[in-house]
Amino acid sequence: MTWLRQYDEAVDLLTGESSPLDLVKVLNNRSLVHLEAGHFRLARADLRRCGQVAAQAELVSAGSPGRRRGCGSPGRGGRSYAGLRPGSG
């Protein structure tokens, strides 16, 4: 799981204050690695933190689609990661 270790290191190095956009990207990407590994709670936690960092840094506006959907929410595929359970995908 080299990817996961690299994302863990990146999250540890980045802060929401100094580089919020980079932290949001890393958290979102790490959530995908967690999903692939079947770690649904960890993926959900990363997506929640992703949304918190984005909101605090005002990376999304009240009227933008990202604000309504949040990080990791349905895009073209129409499925949210938040509702995934083992064996549901």
pLDDT in tens, 17-30: 889 999 999 999 99
Q: Is the pLDDT of residue 81 over 70?
A: no
DSSP 32-61: HHHHHHT-HHHHHHHHHHHHHHHHHTT-S-
Local confidence band at 83 (pLDDT 50, 70, 90 cut-offs)? low
More confident residue, 46 or 83: 46
Q: Is the pLDDT of residue 1 over 60?
A: no
Separation CA 57–CA 37 (nearest Å) = 29
Q: Is the pLDDT of residue 31 over 90?
A: yes
Separation CA 14–CA 42 (nearest Å) = 18
Look at phi and psi of residue 15 and say left if phi exceeds 0, alpha if psi is from -120 to 50, else beta: beta
More confident residue, 73 or 72: 72
Each residue of 42-72: pLDDT tens digit?
999 999 999 999 999 998 765 555 544 456 6
